[in-house]
Structure 1
Amino acid sequence: MRSAHRVETVRTAERTLMARLPEGALMQRAAAGLAAACADVLPRRVYGSRVVLLTGSGDNGGDTLYAGARLARRGAGVTAVLLAPDRTHPDALRALLRAGGTTTTAHSATTPTALARADLVLDGIVGIGGRGGLRPDAAHLADLLADSPATVVAVDLPSGVEPDTGEVRGAAVRADLTVTFGTHKPGLLVDPAREYAGSVRLIDIGLAETLPPTPALESLQHADVAALLPRPTGESDKYRRGVVGVAAGSTRYPGAAVLAVAGALRGGAGAVRYVGAATEAVLARYPETLVSNTGPKKAGRVQAWVAGPGAGDDPTPVAEALASDVPVLLDADGLRLADRDTVRTREAPTLMTPHAGEAAALLGVSREEVEAARLTAVRDLARAYDATVLLKGSTTLIATPDPDTPVRVNPTGTPWLATAGSGDVLSGLAGSLLAAGLPPLDAASTAAYLHGLAGRYAADGAPTGAHDVAEAIPAAWRDITRTVPYHP
């Protein structure tokens, strides 16, 4: 599992570790890892390469200068652009100069030319203490970088992004690679900052031994998801595996019901029970579906409900699902039709799956505010509704009402998933995992992971439809579980 920690936590862990090490040892570890990563991404060998260091004050600048010194000793031509010459890390600067590096300033007439000719630029302007976008001198350098053909490597995180939230409140550096130390920072995993980070490489500097066991964010990997996926045993039948109810679709939107059922059939539950106005369309595509025209209240036994995709304006099915004593997933129209107090006072769990526009409506803010501060929005919504919330989008986040539970960040997906009906497939898939017995946080994050991976398979670099994503879920499931022994 990939973890991310807030700045305050990282600083405390660093202080604890530095107290156990010789002076400067931690910075040298970081610089060594940074230099090695730079050598890997240089378009040609280190010897003879042109490297520019954008160097601010403090430890981040020190890491950058020490890494530059290592590259200079291997034959690179290294120039450090000093943004605060009187506050540059003195020992690191001396190391660079002894290795043959040179210095200049942000306003020097030679700086634009150096950036234009560089093979590699290290962004060491500000580290994890940066807030509120770049100041004018640094913003000018970021603008020059945008026109440079050089590979840009950010040191710890791109300068100008908010490390704890992933917000970008002003000018910021766009990196091709971010080399981060000890642990990921939340901003490296959450958009919009994630887009500024490029690829991310984590360098082990020994910080794991002093970090707390509970991070701020966590991101599941294949092995984590494989351990969560439900698998039948010899004693299983369709009811023991779980029955998921789908209250979705309408005469106007029958496709939403079909796609939600498609996702549910591939999610691990033993059976899917459908109620709604799209019975004919559902049965025509999936005759194995159990159907009812009595509404959720009298539909028969289920272990979870999916309520809302394409449901229209009738609040009754959503209200009946929420009145049940089983987990309920609310999506699309279900989010709009659900009563907040009813959701908050339910004894059974509720999982909400809004996109940014729906989350904005529920929070009473603009869509732009949600997209700019996704981490804040998902936490606020989970707290407001006392529910688990999966916020869909370029970064899919899952949060619980408990502030001490790490927010989950989904690492899979493709922009091709931004297609009509994709969310209906996800809601059915997550609802099926709820019915199979997974807690809401695990069901949501596992479904998002599967859905994102299936989207990659279905698209394979080209446009795809939601039905293709549903069809690709079994391949994604097999990919995740192929290294985990299983004997059905």
Structure 2
Amino acid sequence: MRTAYCVETVRAAERELMARLPEGALMQRAAAGLAAVCADVLGRVTGARIVLLVGSGDNGGDALYAGARLARRGAGVRAVLLAPDRAHSAGLAALRAAGGRVAEDPYGALRAADLVLDGITGIGGHGGLRPDAVELVRATLGTDAVMVAVDLPSGVEADTGEVRGEAVRADVTVTFGTYKPGLLIDPARDYAGAVRLVEIGLELPPTADAEALQYRDVAGLLPVPDAESDKYRRGVVGVVAGSARYPGAAVLAVAGALRGGAGAVRYVGPAADAVIARFPETLVHQGPPGKAGRVQSWVVGPGLGDSGRDFLDEVIAEDVPVLVDADGLRLLDAARVRSRTAPTLLTPHAGEAAALLGVAREQVEAARLASVRALAEKYGATVLLKGSTTLVVGPHPESPVRVNPTGTPWLATAGSGDVLSGLAGALLAAGLEPLDAASVAAYLHGLAARHASRGAPVIASEVAAALPAAWRDIRDVLRD
């Protein structure tokens, strides 16, 4: 599992480690790793033109020491000091001793650079770049220089992933000791480029602030039937979805549930003919949900329309896990959800989240972590916030946020969320906790989209059809 820690935790771990090491040793470790990544990016160090953008903090020191190492290997290194009186003095001395220099013409050096090291601000920085830094960063635009950020792109928020002004857009970010949440969460993630982790020996707590599941983590969570399994042991999902106007939503939600491993799917709603025509395995019922038969979870909301309020109310009253999506979210009452004894999983996109919180969509997109936590607190539920990086949090404020790393921009297509809802509902019915069910569903969903797309446009039904291939891919890692 890829884990990320907030600035306060990282700083505490650094202090503990520095107390056991000779003075300056930790910065040298970071600089050595940074220089190695730069050399790898360049391919050939000798003769390369490298410019260091140096702020007043430790990131500036890291950049200076890394620049010294690259200068000793034959690179032409020039430093641009944004705060000359507060530049790291030992790092600057090391750079000069290795043959590096302070740039006399910063803009000329930047225009000619092969690689630019962003050491302007560190992980403790807040707000966007100052105007003088903005002008220097803009001078690199349109050039062939590779931008490498030190620990975190300057101008982004380490703990939240927010970008509150101008910020560096890096091609590569070299981060030290651990990932920071802002490297995993949009919009900051989009500024980080490829992220390379350099281990420096930090001892960190077992519980992280953010987590990103990897193949092996997901493989360990996937439900697998055994010889004693029947359809009830595998999990029966109830799906309340679709309407005369949106019968396809019901079909896609059922597809996600069936392809997600459900032992059986009970469909309740007005789109029974469309569902049976596509999936004759489905058990259909006209309603109400309480008369449909035994289920281990409910999925309610996709394509439901306003006429589904009574069905939603009945499902919410059931003592099994319930996933609410799409139209169901518009009809939701926070007090009723908070009063439930069984788990609830909400799966909004940014617009739906904004409506639930009573804010503008832009506010949700700019502060995704704060928004998903606010929703979880308001409804006492697990929340999956869809987007370019899907975030999942549980109802407890201290629980880490799960960040989904899979997917493709082609997944932004009508009906894909309905497939995700059915898939997550199947995992809930199989017995996964809501945080795991949502996280695994998002991972599988994104991986299936990659399988179906392969760089081309994809439709939601193709994503559902690719779920078995994604499932097999993940299970295969257990055979290695």
TM-score normalized with structure 1 length: 0.97
Are 1:355 and 2:354 an aligned pair? no
Distance 1:483 1:428 in 2: 25
Partner of 1:9: 9
| One-letter code aligned to 2:52 | L
Out of 440, 443, 449, the position equivalent to 1:446 is: 440
Note the C-alpha offset of 1:485. 4.4
2:232 counterpart SS class: coil
Stretches (4+) displaced over 3 A: none
AA in 1 matched with 2:53: L
Q: Does 1:462 align with 2:456?
A: yes
1:258 aligns with 2:251: yes
- Superposed displacement of residue 144, structure 1: 1.3
Match of 1:241 in 2: 234
Aligned with residue 134 of structure 2, among 139, 147, 155? 139
Q: Is the 8 A contact 2:306 2:327 kept in 1?
A: yes
SS, match of residue 158 in structure 2: coil
CA distance in 2, matches of 1:304, 1:482: 28
Q: Is 1:280 equivalent to 2:273 in the alignment?
A: yes
Q: Partner of 2:342: helix, strand, or coil?
A: coil
CA distance in 2, matches of 1:147, 1:173: 14
Q: Letter of the aligned partner of 1:276 in structure 2?
A: G
Aligned equivalents of 2:224 and 2:262: distance in 1?
Answer: 9
- Distance of 2:58 and 2:127 partners within structure 1: 19
CA distance in 1 between counterparts of 2:423 and 2:411 reads 15
Offset of residue 39 of structure 1 = 0.6
* Equivalences for residues 326-365 of structure 1 within 5 A: 326-365=320-359
Letter of the aligned partner of 1:91 in structure 2? A
Determine whether 1:118 maps to 2:113.
yes
Partner Cα separation in structure 1 for residue 140 and residue 267 of structure 2: 55
CA distance in 2, matches of 1:116, 1:311: 56
Instruction: Kindly provide the CA deviation profile for residues 365-407 of structure 1, in whole angstroms up to 9, marking residues without a partner as x.
Output: 0000000000000000000000000000111000112111101
Alignment correspondent of 1:402: 396
User: After alignment, is 426-435 or 312-321 more displaced?
Assistant: 312-321
Q: Does 1:479 align with 2:458?
A: no
Residue 40 (structure 2) aligns with:
40
Match of 1:81 in 2: 80
Q: CA deviation at 1:483?
A: 2.3
Match of 1:173 in 2: 168
Looking at structure 2, the residues matched to 38 and 400 of structure 1 have their Cα atoms a distance apart, in angstroms, of 39
**Match 1:217 to one of 210, 220, 235:** 210
Q: Distance in 1 between matches of 2:271 and 2:402?
A: 34
CA offsets 1:311-365 (integer angstroms, 9 cap, x no match): 0112011111101000000000011112211111000000000000000000000
- Please give the alpha-carbon distance, in whole angstroms, between the structure 1 residues aligned to 2:260 and 2:174: 37
Q: C-alpha offsets along residues 403-455 of structure 1, whole Å, 9 cap, x if unaligned?
A: 11101000101000000000000000000000000000000000000000011
Hey, what does 1:99 align to over in structure 2? 98
Contact 2:68 2:95 in 1 (8 A): yes
Query: Would you say 1:382 and 2:376 are equivalent positions?
Result: yes
Partner of 1:427: helix, strand, or coil? Answer: helix
Distance 2:187 2:479 in 1: 38
Q: Which runs of no fewer than 5 residues in structure 1 stay unpaired?
A: none
Q: CA deviation at 1:266?
A: 1.2
User: Does residue 430 of structure 1 match 2:424?
Assistant: yes
Are 1:146 and 1:174, in contact at CA under 8 Å, matched by a contact in 2?
A: no
SS of the residue 1:160 aligns to: coil
Match of 1:61 in 2: 60
What corresponds to 2:20 in structure 1? 20
2:195 to 200, 209, 227: 200
Q: In structure 2, how many angstroms separate the alpha carbons of the residues matched to 1:259 and 1:349? A: 23
2:31 is matched with which residue?
31
Whole-angstrom distance in 1 between the partners of 2:140 and 2:288: 59
- TM-score, reference length from structure 2: 0.99
Q: Secondary structure at the match of 1:52?
A: strand
RMSD (Å) for aligned C-alpha atoms: 0.9
Q: Distance in 2 between matches of 1:485 and 1:6?
A: 35
Q: CA deviation at 1:225?
A: 0.2
Q: Supply the AA of the counterpart residue of 1:39.
A: A
Write the letter of the residue equivalent to 1:480. Answer: I
- Report deviation, 1:29: 0.5
Once the two structures are superposed, residues 174-228 of structure 1 have per-residue CA deviations (whole angstroms, 9 ceiling, x without a partner) of 0000000001111100111101000101100001x2x111111011000000000
Q: What amino acid is aligned across from residue 10 of structure 1 in structure 2? A: V
Counterpart secondary structure, 1:126: coil
Q: Can you give the 5+ residue segments of structure 2 that lack an aligned partner in the other structure?
A: none
Match of 1:415 in 2: 409
Name 1:369's counterpart in structure 2. Answer: 363
Matched AA of 1:461:
G
1:157 aligns with 2:152: yes
Distance in 2 of aligned mates of 1:329 and 1:13 = 39
Which residue does the alignment assign to 1:228? 221
Instruction: Give the conservation status (yes or no) of the 8 Å contact 2:174–2:196.
Output: yes
The answer to whether the 8 Å contact 2:215/2:477 transfers is: no
Kindly state the Cα deviation for residue 161 of structure 1 after the two structures are TM-superposed.
0.4
The 8 Å contact of residues 142 and 171 in structure 1, kept in 2 or not, is answered as no
Kindly state the Cα deviation for residue 59 of structure 1 after the two structures are TM-superposed: 0.9
Task: Give the residue type in structure 2 aligned to 1:270.
Answer: G
Three-state SS of the structure 2 residue aligned to 1:240 is helix
Amino acid at match of 2:264: A
Q: CA deviation at 1:116?
A: 1.2
Q: CA deviation at 1:149?
A: 1.5
1:63-84 Cα deviation digits (max 9, x unpaired): 0000000000000000000001
